[in-house]
């Protein structure tokens, strides 16, 4: 099935000159592909297909030394963390993009209490208050400091703590 580049109002199957019906195909060609999809769906629902597919996946994992429970997030936690922060910034409508490599340049301690336990990425000017998701607006904070700071700037938060 190669596209028909001659007439855009004709079926996109080469050699078929009937007018288009849906998705670039004439009605007989569209129905044929719909029937084929239904046949594929019925075939994939059969237990023997599932067993064959499962055996293939197991063999692939063994061959490539991949554990069954490993996912992208487990294998690459820094990239997952960076992706989560980018998504949160996009949802807030704030620009900026920070890579996993840039996140490794942040301090290895909480900049507020100097603890090294359970660190998280902290926006100095919170995203909710218009802060950008750029490396210059990021630092590290322990979970305790980060959650108590909430949506305050560091100056506001330190004034409340004092």
- Owning domain of residue 132: 73-161
Task: Identify whether residues 155 and 78 lie together within a single domain.
Answer: yes
Which residues of the chain register pLDDT less than 50? 1
Asked which of 51, 70, 89 is the last residue of a domain, the reply is: 70
Asked which of 49, 70, 91 is the last residue of a domain, the reply is: 70
Total of domains in the chain: 2
Residue 95 has a pLDDT of 74
Residue 5 has a pLDDT of 53
Residue 86 has a pLDDT of 82
- Kindly provide the b/e burial profile for residues 47-65, where b requires at least 16 CB atoms within 10 angstroms of the residue's own CB: eeeeeeeeeeeeeeeeeee
Q: What is the CATH number of the domain that holds 131?
A: 1.10.30
Task: Identify whether residues 154 and 138 lie together within a single domain.
Answer: yes
């Amino acid at each position: 099935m190669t596209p028909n580049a001659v007439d855009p109002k004709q079926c996109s199957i080469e050699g078929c000159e009937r007018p288009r019906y849906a998705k670039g195909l004439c009605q007989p060609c569209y129905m044929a592909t719909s029937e084929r999809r239904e046949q594929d769906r019925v075939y994939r629902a059969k237990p023997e297909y599932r067993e064959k597919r499962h055996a293939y996946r197991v063999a692939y994992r063994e061959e490539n030394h991949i554990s069954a429970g490993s996912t992208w997030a487990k294998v690459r936690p820094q990239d997952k963390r960076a992706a989560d922060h980018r998504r949160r910034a996009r949802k807030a409508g704030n620009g900026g993009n920070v890579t996993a490599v840039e996140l490794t340049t942040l301090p290895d301690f909480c900049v507020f209490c100097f603890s090294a336990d359970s660190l998280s990425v902290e926006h100095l000017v919170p995203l909710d208050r218009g802060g950008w998701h750029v490396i210059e607006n990021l630092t590290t904070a322990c979970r305790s400091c980060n959650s108590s700071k909430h949506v305050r700037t560091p100056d506001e938060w330190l004034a409340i703590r004092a």
